[in-house]
């Protein structure tokens, strides 16, 4: 049971990281960074047209996969505890 709660915690932390990743890229650009490898030089940066939608699809799909796993684990925890809940 404790292991399941640790997994739930790690999934929630992963969800927060996924949601904050675009903000971290913008923050890195504002501090003069490369956006975690997206651009080496912001003035001469050429980003392919498909890079933004690819990143968006990757982040959204990983978000929903993690939410699905979180929901499964919470259902399993509820069946172990034999509780009725809205999940």
The rounded Cα 67 to chain-centroid distance in angstroms is 10
Q: CB 62: neighbour CB atoms within 10 A? A: 14
Domain spans of the chain, in order of start: 2-81
Predicted TM-score (pTM) of the model is: 0.73
CA distance 7 to 64: 16
User: Quick one: tokens of 62?
Assistant: 């990983």
pLDDT in tens, 9-68: 999 999 999 999 888 888 888 887 777 777 777 677 777 788 888 888 999 999 999 999
- In angstroms, the CA 55 to CA 46 distance is 16
Nearest to 10 by CA among 65, 70, 52: 70
């Amino acid at each position: 049971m404790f292991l399941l709660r640790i997994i739930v915690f790690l999934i929630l932390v992963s969800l927060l990281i996924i949601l904050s990743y675009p903000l971290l890229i913008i923050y890195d650009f504002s501090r003069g960074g490369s956006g975690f490898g997206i651009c080496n030089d912001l003035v001469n940066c050429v980003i392919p047209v498909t890079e933004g939608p690819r990143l968006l699809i990757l982040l959204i799909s990983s978000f929903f996969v993690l939410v699905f796993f979180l929901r499964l684990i919470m259902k399993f925890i509820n069946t172990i505890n034999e509780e009725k809940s809205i999940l």
